[in-house]
Amino acid sequence: MTDPDNINTKATDTETDSLIRQQADAQQVSIKAWTQKLLVVLLCIASFYGGWKSYESYMVNECAIHGGQMVEGQRTLLCQLP
């Protein structure tokens, strides 16, 4: 049995190295999580923009099919039918 007064409270070199590695791993996971979140945000923005342009193209085609002409407003596209 060990004497409770004789317990070594100092960390050994291997324990210190292990703690340093765990902290470094935690930082790498944190950085990886942030880069993944940033990638998701960028993909959402790209998807939104692609959908918006696709809808705009669809509306221009619909206007042309019905014999209209696209007129550019200040912030909108208008379809003028004859």
Span 20-38, pLDDT tens digits: 777 766 666 677 788 889 9
Span 53-78, pLDDT tens digits: 999 999 999 999 999 988 887 778 88
DSSP output for 2-70: --GGG---SPPHHHHHHHHHHHHHHHHHHHHHHHHHHHHHHHHHHHHHHHHHHHHHHHHHHHHHTT-EE
Least confident of 1-5, 48-52, 56-60: 1-5
